[in-house]
Structure 1
Amino acid sequence: MTWYNICKFDELQSDVLQRFELPAQAIVVVKSDDKVSAFQDRCSHQDIPLSDFGQIQDGEIICFAHGAKFCAADGKVLCAPATAPLKAFPCKVESGVVMVEVGP
């Protein structure tokens, strides 16, 4: 597993799915209530990019392709048709820099 510097914490917009390309894959980073979460840029329902079809509302990631809802903090399923959680990655903020751990 490798830690990647993603961006400065202050550059993230609150309650917006922001896409970042890493060598292994694309991720979306969510800043909500001064906390940061990171997920694979794929809805677990039909493997489509959340950065294209997703939005944050009231602490939930909503995929507007088919209406699946996930918790923006941990990626757990809140509403069908998805049955599997989003693939989450460990993340942290050090010295004002958002870091995400992604493995092969």
Structure 2
Amino acid sequence: MARIFVCQNDSLGEGEAIKLERLSLAIAVVNSGGSFYAISDRCSHGNASMSEGYIEDDGTVECPLHSARFCLKTGKALCQPATEPLSTFPVVVVDDAIYVDLPEAPQ
């Protein structure tokens, strides 16, 4: 695992998302209800950035293009047109800083 710094936790307000690009991955880091989640930034249905999506109070994010919704905790696709889940990544908060644990790049 590679632990990647995202931002200070007070820099990511409630209902906001930030895009992180590392190791050929694009990841949306989201603050929902004071909890932080990391999911693939690309919608599994189309070429849309989930960091630009709509963060809902029920712990989901809605794709900005086609209204597909995904669970922030599990990445599960919750409605059409998406049927495939998004990848999720562990988020760790240390000393008021948000980090995402990413898999190591293949050797």
SS in 2 for 1:6: strand
1:93 & 1:30 partners in 2: Cα distance?
13
Deviation, structure 1 residue 60: 1.7
Deviation, structure 1 residue 41: 1.0
CA contact (8 A) 1:17 1:55 kept: no
Q: Aligned letter for 1:38?
A: A
Alignment correspondent of 2:102: 102
Uncovered stretches (5+) of structure 1, i.e. residues with no partner: none
> Share of identical aligned residues, percent?
38
Alignment correspondent of 2:51: 51
Relative to its length, the structure with more strand (as a share) is 1
Alignment correspondent of 1:84: 84
Alignment correspondent of 2:8: 8
CA contact (8 A) 1:56 1:72 kept: no
Deviation, structure 1 residue 72: 2.4
The TM-score, its normalising length taken from structure 1, stands at 0.86
2:49 & 2:32 partners in 1: Cα distance?
20
1:57 & 1:3 partners in 2: Cα distance?
27
| Matched residues, number | 103
**TM alignment of 1:27-42, pairs within 5 A:** 27-42=27-42
Moved more, 14-23 or 60-69: 14-23
RMSD (CA atoms): 1.6
The TM-score, its normalising length taken from structure 2, stands at 0.84
Uncovered stretches (5+) of structure 2, i.e. residues with no partner: none
Give the ranges of 4+ consecutive aligned residues of structure 1 lying more than 3 Å apart after TM superposition: none
Q: Aligned letter for 1:81?
A: P
CA shift digits 1:35-81 (9 cap, x unpaired): 110012110112432234x1112222001311210112332111111
